[in-house]
Structure 1
Amino acid sequence: MSAKKTITTVTLNDCVTIQAGYPFRGAISPILSGSVKAVQAKDISPLGELLTDNLITTDLTGKREADWLKQGDVLFSAKGSKHLASYVSRQLERTTCAPSLFLLRIKAQWQNKVNPQFLTWQLNQSPVQTYLKRSAEGSFQISIRKPVLAATPIALPDIETQNTIAKLYEASIKENALLHKLINNRQQQLNAIATDLIQNSK
């Protein structure tokens, strides 16, 4: 009989650095000739997938340099009705994030102990989401403050288990995206049939 594997409980702040997104002045305006791209909350799907095809192109409006997103980073939407985490699965050229997002980056000493994609999955699951809802502030524009996010309890199994869950999570996102695409394609087909029937009716 195999021994039960140990699960360690830590706070999010123990294993990641938490940095607010770039402090753009006001709304982020599209600039066709801009030199940077910015991830906003709308670029995170309801499943937690980072959608990078239509990122806004703009320019930095402040004096400080941006924190450029790296593969392995985790973004967390701190404002709005949904507080989802999203995994940065590939390198993005000169891309930062809006101030409504927190940038989470695994600390050096935790690199071999925490899978960031597993961490993303756990942040989006009901135990953490329940904790965040209890701690959220505001009635209309609900927000998660940095100290609340930092204190989020995280359960860490061994890295092999984390890797397995991360792969399952990645597969589930791809499967859901494919399913939604099939549903949308079928609906468009039915809409076209309905339009054709009306146009050809006497």
Structure 2
Amino acid sequence: MNLPISDIAPTIQAGFPFRKRVPASDLGSVYVIQGKDIRQDHTVDVSGLVRVEPQHGFDRCQVFPGDVLIMNRGVRNYATLVREPFDDRVIAVATFFILRVDTNRVDPEYLTWYLNLPEVQRTLGEKSRGTSIPHLTVQALGDLEVPVLSLEHQTAILRAAVLIDHDLQLATELAAQRRELLFASLREITRSKSHALNDE
């Protein structure tokens, strides 16, 4: 069955709205997740998190393992699963929505995978408002419907997705190697023809 995100993620919270840039402090005790900290594979790179001094309102923006972060501004509304437990307090900036998923119904990794599907990304883009910098609202995200299968089936789909990604990556690598071999052959032919002309 299909359920709106608001049913499977009862908490959809925007990150902390810093007034300008994030006020980094080497003495800060709170770490901040920004867009620059998201890797291409939609995981959080914790090695470069900026530290800040605690401020009022940080509690509601705190991030925990199992939370799903979704970019709410820009042309891509990619989702990121927070996997690693943190030794310190961590928050997200306001360009992210923080989704706390009901894990009795939905695997956070499954939701992350679904939200990053190209057709779902297009739907989110259509729901975004604004022309110069599109932005997604909590209401629009909460209304998005997700096919909710049994947890067992969600796990099976994730395993299949991993295998498909692996096969596609392997095919890409093989295609690149084949391309290099073909171009190497063309370069060798070019050199041979050039030498033959010089010998005449």
User: How many angstroms apart in 1 are the aligned matches of 2:152 and 2:38?
Assistant: 27
Number of the residue aligned with 2:100: 105
- From the superposition, tell whether residues 54 and 167 of structure 1 become closer, same or farther in structure 2 (CA, over 3 Å): farther
1:115 pairs, out of 98, 107, 122, with 107
Q: Is the 8 A contact 1:25 1:62 kept in 2?
A: no
- 1:66-99 Cα offsets, whole Å, 9 max, x none, are 4322111101110122211100112122001001
Q: Which moved more, 1:44-53 or 1:126-135?
A: 44-53
Q: Secondary structure at the match of 2:122?
A: helix
Letter in 2 for 1:163: T
Letter in 2 for 1:37: Y
Q: Is the 8 A contact 1:9 1:156 kept in 2?
A: yes
Q: Secondary structure at the match of 2:48?
A: coil
Q: Secondary structure at the match of 1:89?
A: coil
Q: Is the 8 A contact 2:76 2:125 kept in 1?
A: no
Any residues of structure 2 matched to 1:152-163 within 5 Å, and which? 152-163=144-155
Q: C-alpha root-mean-square deviation of aligned residues, in Å? A: 2.5
Any residues of structure 2 matched to 1:87-166 within 5 Å, and which? 87-92=81-86, 93-107=88-102, 111-166=103-158
Number of the residue aligned with 1:9: 2
- 1:34-67 Cα offsets, whole Å, 9 max, x none, are 1100101222233322222111111234355343
- 1:2-54 Cα offsets, whole Å, 9 max, x none, are xxxxxx10110011020111232322121111110010122223332222211
Identity level (%): 26
Q: Is the 8 A contact 2:13 2:60 kept in 1?
A: no
Q: Secondary structure at the match of 2:46?
A: coil
TM-score (norm 1): 0.74
Q: Does 1:77 align with 2:71?
A: yes
Number of the residue aligned with 2:25: 31
Larger Rg: 2
1:57 pairs, out of 39, 44, 51, with 51
TM-score (norm 2): 0.75
Q: Is the 8 A contact 1:21 1:101 kept in 2?
A: yes
Q: Secondary structure at the match of 2:70?
A: strand
- From the superposition, tell whether residues 31 and 118 of structure 1 become closer, same or farther in structure 2 (CA, over 3 Å): same
User: How many angstroms apart in 1 are the aligned matches of 2:26 and 2:60?
Assistant: 19
Number of the residue aligned with 1:193: none
Structure 1: gaps (5+ residues): 1-7, 184-202
